Structures are given as structure tokens and as C-alpha cells.
A and B are shown apart, each in its own frame.
Chain A
């Protein structure tokens, strides 16, 4: 069964450092997302990406964040200067075309900022 893959599974970084979280969405999917989940809390939307551009972003997704689809398969989330409060699980998700199709989530990257 096709799946969304994310790397790394766990990333520890020092405050102020840049991190890049990587995702390979399901190949025939057209909509891509990043969500985050602070430990013990709900899953929060960060950004959606369609047709090679951001379609929507949340208040969390400030200038420190950026997304990119550098080639036909990878989808990355970059945090330019990490803060302690960026520590969370980051999930990539993708969806095929269609009005309300299901989202497929990757296994997540646990980011720890120290």
C-alpha cells in the first residue's frame, strides 16, 4: 500500500539552528500539507501546498517557516531559526484530487529544540 514517508524520524537541534524536514508524498497525490502536534495536544494545520505554491497557511506558519517541492517527489519544511516552542511532532500529509478525499499522514518527524 502506498504511504507517505518522512525523514528523519527524530531531529535534535540547537535553538537558532535551521532544520529541514523531508517528506515524500504518495506519487499520484496533488495536495500536500504539513501539520504539527505538540506533545499531548491536538494536530494543528501549518500549511497546504498545491500546484507548486502555498494555497493556505496558518498563523503558526510565520516567516521562519518555508516549504518547497524541489523535484517531483520531495516536499520539505524548513524552519530557519528554531525556537524552543518549535519542539513538536511534524506530520506531512498528502491527498489525491477530489473534494473531500482522505488525508494520508506520514509517520512524523519528532523535532526537539534544545
Chain B
């Protein structure tokens, strides 16, 4: 249905290591948004991907949208302790759903200094 599946559920890395989280859908996505939630915090928008095969970068973060628009990934290069948090992908529903977000389960990232 309209679910998005996200893996892994947890990722523990040493500071300086890379990190990747994956988001998959059984149906074609109109777009995908990524949010970060710090421990005890609220979701904060990171980026939106709309086009097939799109790649966007924000400093050490690289976001990709699959060619078939059914999957997406977020890759962090050389993690820092400030990257700690839960990373969620979310699909946006258009039309009569007025932009409702359906979130994946999230990947909890911990970074050991």
C-alpha cells in the first residue's frame, strides 16, 4: 500500500565512519522527503527528492532517489557526533490528501567518539 520501509532500524558507527539508510516502497513515489529527529526532539526537514535518479548533496549528506522512484537513500560521509539522531524518510500524498506524510520506521544512528 502506501507504506515506506526503512532499513536498518539501528546503526552504530565510530566517529569518522560512513552511514547509509535505505527507504523502499512497493509503489512508485511522487516524491520522498527526509527528516532528522534529534533525541528528544522533533522532526526537522532535510531535503525533498522529486525526479527519477535525482542526487542531492548537503555538505556530508548525499540523498538519492532511485530510477524507478521506488527507493531512496541517505548517505553520511565521515560521521560526527552531531549526526546522532533518527533519520526518517517520508512519502508525501498529494491530491485530496493535502500533503499528508507517511513516515518510514526510521533509522536510529548512534556515533561513538
Q: Enumerate chain A interface residues (CB-CB to B < 8 A).
A: 31, 33, 35, 41-45, 48, 50, 55-56, 91, 93, 95, 99-108
Q: Enumerate chain B interface residues (CB-CB to A < 8 A).
A: 30-31, 33, 37, 41-45, 48, 50, 88, 90, 92, 94, 96-106
B96 and A100: CB pair below 8 A?
no
Known interface pairs A42-B88, A99-B94; A104-B100 also in contact (CB < 8 Å): no
Tell me whether chain A's interface is mostly helix, strand or loop, or mixed.
Answer: strand
B44 and A105: CB pair below 8 A?
yes
Contact of B99 among A31, A41, A44, A106 (CB under 8 A): A31
Q: How many angstroms between the C-alpha atoms of A100 and B32 in the bound complex?
A: 9
Q: List 24 A-B contacts (CB under 8 A).
A: A31-B99, A33-B100, A33-B101, A35-B101, A42-B88, A42-B104, A42-B106, A43-B43, A43-B90, A45-B102, A48-B100, A55-B96, A55-B98, A56-B97, A56-B100, A91-B42, A99-B99, A100-B94, A100-B99, A101-B99, A103-B33, A103-B43, A105-B44, A106-B42
